[in-house]
Chain A
Amino acid sequence: MTTRNGERTNFGKTLIVVIAAVPFLYPFFFLLTTAGKTNAEFVRHPSGVPSQLTFANITAAWRQARLGPAMMHSVIAVVFSVGVTVVISCAAGFWFLRHQGLGARVLRGVLVGTMALPPPVFIIPLYVLLNGLSLTDNLLVLGLVYGTTNSAFGLYLMSSYYQRGIPVDVLEASELDGASPLRQFLSVVLPLGKPAIGTLAALSFVWAWSDLLLAVVLIQDPNKRTLVPAASMLADRYNTNIPGNAAAVVIGLLPMLLVFLAGQRYLQRGVLAGIGK
């Protein structure tokens, strides 16, 4: 057996990696088998495969525990936030390509620097502020907040991508052709930035979908909860119904798994971009 590079496989090392992978797969095996078990069977046999596969937990979580609507809320807030992040990051990246004076560099530093401001520091005052304006319990506002917090990284990513990938004279040439800034942005900059936009979209989706802190603080109306907080609170309330909790986690993780499988390359690139590679 050989690896992709044609070297001979080292079986000892492969074995080490296989053993190391077990703790990473086992919890997911447990998750799926538990979600497919009746509670009675779980109490008797907490580990192992279900004797009879049931989807009752999934449908119960979806209907009675109302994860269905929560999923809808997540889709609204998260998709909106990804749109916001991509649009404002690309637009600002273009601006920082056209303006590179001292003022522009300071502004870029401040905006990118907000990446270092952790949500636990500003989320409570933000809640108080938005509550005063009756803007809490609002999915679009939640989306706008995700869109903003993710755009610090987005701006960094897009503007460094543009600065490396778009020669200034391409822009100049299209300006000489009489293209307005908006025209240049739409027909030159956006198409050239597509790979970075993929990375940004995948990462900002995952970040917004994953979030618990902003969601529990900014959405306190139980009828408007997004998926992750809804699942977290369900697991708390019905703590004894473990198969029900497992079903809630399955429902929450499924969209993440799909995005992961489709965009893993982008996500890896995003991680590396984050450390300046």
Chain B
Amino acid sequence: MTRATELMTRPAASRPATVPGANRGKTGRLLRATLDLPFVLPVTALTALFVLLPTGTAIYYSFTDWSPGYDSPWIGLRNYTQLFQSTIFHEVLGNQFFLLLGLPVWIALPLILAYVLHERVAGASIFRTIFFFPATASPALLGLLFAFTLSPNGPLNGTLSKLGLGSLRREWLSDPSLVKPVLIGVLTWSSIGTGIIIFSAGLSAIPSELFEVAELDGAGWWQRLRFIVVPGLRSLIEMWAVILVITVFVGMFPWVYTLTRGGPGYSSRTMDFDIYTNSLSNSLYGSAAAEMVVLLVLVGLILMIGSRGLQGRRGAK
């Protein structure tokens, strides 16, 4: 028997609870830390090179007239003032906030479905699978799928005609008043599975007696949803909301690229798509850099507000 297995079978009280090597003194610890470095160096170096350095670069060049490969003179805040005066950028920001109107739907639908699936539904796990696949598949490929499903002569319009609802046929992706609601709908479709998985896990942590007692007391389905499910899942709902808001700000690129290319006009352009187009297609690197920094600040703000909400409630409990 090795010492390792001996130690593992020994009663817990007699085990020393120190970190290995902690008793070797300062030089011992330093030596150990150095010898251990190869374990943490790769991830640190790669993250510094591929993520932190470029983020720092974006911040620095946002104050310059950035033209890669050439001199990039310092111009102070001019990129920012130009960005905030640009009517296109106003429209892009407006699009971002319009998309947030989907939040109540993106939260309520998976919540309700998770709750329905929680109680006495045959084949509940099969349905969870069906809802979950779109949440794991590539948004770009699903965007392509919807690009032709929603095309003027595509199957959605075809089906509407077949059902005698031809008056509902629309140019789903090229009507400026429809394109953002359509994006909200597509995001509902692609996000619902993740929401269901999260809320299902939360529901299974709520004691089932709570539901039984409420039912005996005459609480209907809706009342149980309102007074047991929603309060019980509050922190998960808040977390899901933060994930969704961040997705709207930084995860729209594949959808916009495959569905609308930001059009018609600029009516479906989002910040991530705008950054891509401004830098790589229009060579406006400086103003794109300012936009990257604005996006970074927005994400920071969202996370701050989100975590404050979560901590505040935890403290109150």
How many residues of chain B have a CB within 8 Å of chain A? 110
**Chain B: minimal CB distance from A42 (Å):** 9
Distance of A249 Cα from B134 Cα, bound (Å): 13
Asked, given contacts A95-B40, A168-B19, A169-B7, whether A228 binds B52 with beta carbons under 8 Å apart, the answer is no
Q: Using Cβ atoms and an 8 Å threshold, which residues of chain A touch B53?
A: 125, 129
Distance of A45 Cα from B32 Cα, bound (Å): 71
User: Which of chain B's residues 86-145 have a Cβ closer than 8 Å to chain A?
Assistant: 113, 116-117, 119-125, 127, 129-134, 136-141, 143-145
Q: Using Cβ atoms and an 8 Å threshold, which residues of chain A touch B194?
A: 271
**Chain B: minimal CB distance from A40 (Å):** 13
Distance of A83 Cα from B25 Cα, bound (Å): 37
A120 touches B4 (CB 8 A): no
Determine whether B230 belongs to the interface, using a CB cutoff of 8 Å to chain A: no
Asked, given contacts A98-B19, A121-B296, A124-B280, whether A27 binds B145 with beta carbons under 8 Å apart, the answer is yes
**Chain A: minimal CB distance from B216 (Å):** 16
Asked, given contacts A30-B155, A43-B153, A260-B133, whether A231 binds B141 with beta carbons under 8 Å apart, the answer is yes
User: Which of chain B's residues 156-177 have a Cβ closer than 8 Å to chain A?
Assistant: 157-159, 162
Distance of A176 Cα from B137 Cα, bound (Å): 47
Q: Using Cβ atoms and an 8 Å threshold, which residues of chain B touch A34?
A: 148, 155
User: Which of chain A's residues 1-55 have a Cβ closer than 8 Å to chain B?
Assistant: 1-4, 7-10, 13-14, 16-17, 20-21, 23-25, 27-28, 30-31, 34, 43, 45-47
B19 touches A213 (CB 8 A): no
Q: Using Cβ atoms and an 8 Å threshold, which residues of chain A touch B145?
A: 27-28, 31, 246, 249
A117 touches B253 (CB 8 A): no
A107 touches B4 (CB 8 A): no
A21 touches B15 (CB 8 A): no
Q: Using Cβ atoms and an 8 Å threshold, which residues of chain B touch A206?
A: 136
Distance of A40 Cα from B35 Cα, bound (Å): 68
Distance of A175 Cα from B19 Cα, bound (Å): 11
Determine whether B303 belongs to the interface, using a CB cutoff of 8 Å to chain A: yes
Question: Contacting A213 at CB < 8 Å: which of B146, B148, B254, B289?
Answer: B254
Q: Using Cβ atoms and an 8 Å threshold, which residues of chain A touch B151?
A: 242
Determine whether A219 belongs to the interface, using a CB cutoff of 8 Å to chain B: no
| Contact flags A153-184 to B (C-beta < 8 A → 1, else 0) | 00100000000000111111111110001000
Interface residues on A, range: 35 or more
| Contact flags B42-68 to A (C-beta < 8 A → 1, else 0) | 111011011111110110010000001
Q: Using Cβ atoms and an 8 Å threshold, which residues of chain B touch A267?
A: 132, 136
Determine whether A148 belongs to the interface, using a CB cutoff of 8 Å to chain B: yes
B51 touches A122 (CB 8 A): yes
Q: Using Cβ atoms and an 8 Å threshold, which residues of chain A touch B197?
A: 268, 271-272
B7 touches A170 (CB 8 A): yes
Q: Using Cβ atoms and an 8 Å threshold, which residues of chain B touch A92?
A: 39-40, 42-44
B52 touches A114 (CB 8 A): yes
A145 touches B19 (CB 8 A): no
CB closest residue in chain B, given A141: B50
Distance of A8 Cα from B138 Cα, bound (Å): 37
**Chain A: minimal CB distance from B41 (Å):** 9
Distance of A27 Cα from B159 Cα, bound (Å): 12
Determine whether A57 belongs to the interface, using a CB cutoff of 8 Å to chain B: no
Asked, given contacts A172-B7, A212-B138, whether A148 binds B47 with beta carbons under 8 Å apart, the answer is yes
Determine whether A204 belongs to the interface, using a CB cutoff of 8 Å to chain B: no
Asked, given contacts A116-B303, A253-B141, A256-B136, whether A155 binds B276 with beta carbons under 8 Å apart, the answer is no
Q: Using Cβ atoms and an 8 Å threshold, which residues of chain A touch B285?
A: 124, 128
Distance of A228 Cα from B140 Cα, bound (Å): 7
Distance of A168 Cα from B138 Cα, bound (Å): 40
Determine whether A223 belongs to the interface, using a CB cutoff of 8 Å to chain B: no
Distance of A118 Cα from B294 Cα, bound (Å): 12
Question: Contacting B138 at CB < 8 Å: which of A31, A96, A209?
Answer: A209
Distance of A24 Cα from B134 Cα, bound (Å): 8
29 residue pairs of the A-B complex, CB under 8 angstroms, read A2-B122, A4-B124, A13-B121, A17-B127, A21-B127, A23-B189, A24-B133, A31-B145, A46-B154, A92-B43, A100-B19, A117-B55, A121-B299, A124-B58, A129-B54, A148-B46, A172-B7, A174-B4, A176-B3, A206-B136, A210-B254, A216-B257, A232-B140, A235-B147, A246-B148, A249-B145, A260-B136, A272-B201, A277-B201
Question: Which residues of A come within 8 Å of B, CB atoms?
Answer: 1-4, 7-10, 13-14, 16-17, 20-21, 23-25, 27-28, 30-31, 34, 43, 45-47, 87-89, 91-92, 94-96, 98-100, 107, 111, 114, 116-129, 131-132, 144-145, 147-149, 151-152, 155, 167-177, 181, 185, 206, 209-213, 216-217, 228-229, 231-232, 235, 242, 245-246, 248-249, 252-253, 256-257, 260, 264, 267-268, 271-272, 275, 277
